[in-house]
Structure 1
Amino acid sequence: MSNDSQLPLLAILSPCVGVCQLDPRGYCLGCYRTGDEIARWRGMSDAERSHYLNEVLPARESA
């Protein structure tokens, strides 16, 4: 018998792809985060990280 409420939650990982250089706008060329966002990433809630991964960073990438 399975108890899904006991499954471990997975942490939202960093979007870093190892290309760590900021463009003239201050966005990383690899993950599109600012230096401040990179520094704060580990302290962000899962909800905030999810917001960045699903909305903020894709919008920057397509701009």
Structure 2
Amino acid sequence: MNPQTGLCEGCWRTIDEIVMWGTADNDKKKAVWAEIERRQQALF
């Protein structure tokens, strides 16, 4: 986890997103993937 961003440096998810991933439905997972794309674009 990157202490400055609070994101996993491998998957770009927050701790909360990682914890809920196993029980999340497809809609929630799609929303997380969309957020990951926004995060990457904002940082690059």
Q: TM-score, normalised by structure 2?
A: 0.78
Q: Which runs of 4+ in 1 moved over 2 A?
A: none
Report the AA paired with residue 18 of structure 2.
I
Deviation at 1:51, TM superposition (A): 1.5
Q: Note if 1:61 corresponds to 2:40.
A: yes
Write the deviation string for residues 2-58 of structure 1: whole angstroms up to 9, x where unpaired.
xxxxxxxxxxxxxxxxxxxx11220011111001110110111111101211x1000
Instruction: Name the % identity.
Output: 29
Q: Highest Rg: 1 or 2? A: 1
- Uncovered stretches (5+) of structure 1, i.e. residues with no partner: 1-21
- Uncovered stretches (5+) of structure 2, i.e. residues with no partner: none
Q: Which residue of 2 aligns with 1:7?
A: none
Q: CA RMSD in A?
A: 0.9
Q: Note if 1:46 corresponds to 2:13.
A: no
Number of aligned pairs? 41
Report the AA paired with residue 35 of structure 1.
I
Q: Note if 1:27 corresponds to 2:7.
A: yes
Q: TM-score, normalised by structure 1?
A: 0.58
